Amino acid sequence: MLTIACRDVGQPCDCVLSGETEEELLKSAAEHAVNDHGYKEEEIMTPEMQQNIKSHIKRV
Ligand SMILES: [Zn+2]
């Protein structure tokens, strides 16, 4: 399983998101960022943000 901690991406949040695939994880991370952190979807989809998120993915 893949996980990502919000805190690692620089958010003041203790959430850890998980997914079976990178695609699934990125999708739930995007939803969480929009719903819980007030981001706009287009802000999450920038190459910089996607790269930042991907660089903090952990395999558990
Ligand atoms: Zn969060």
22-37 vs 47-54: helix axis angle to the nearest 10? 110
How does residue 32 score in pLDDT terms, banded at 50, 70 and 90?
A: very high
Q: Helix, strand, or coil here: 5?
A: strand
Cα separation, 1 vs 49, in Å, equals 21
Q: How far is the CA of 57 from the centre of ligand 1 (A)?
A: 14
Q: What is the pTM of this model?
A: 0.90
Can you give the pLDDT at residue 4?
97
Provide the percentage of residues in the chain whose pLDDT is more than 70. 100
Average pLDDT, the chain: 96
User: How many Å lie between the centroid of ligand 1 and the Cα of residue 53?
Assistant: 12
- Domain residue ranges of the chain, discontinuous segments joined by +: 2-59
Of 48, 44, 10, 12, residue with least CA distance to 28: 44
Q: What is the pLDDT of residue 41?
A: 93
- Ligand 1 centroid to Cα of residue 59, in Å, is 19
Q: In what order do the strands lie in the sheet with 16-19?
A: 16-19, 2-5, 58-59
pLDDT digits (tens, 9 = 90+) for 5-24: 999 999 999 999 999 999 99
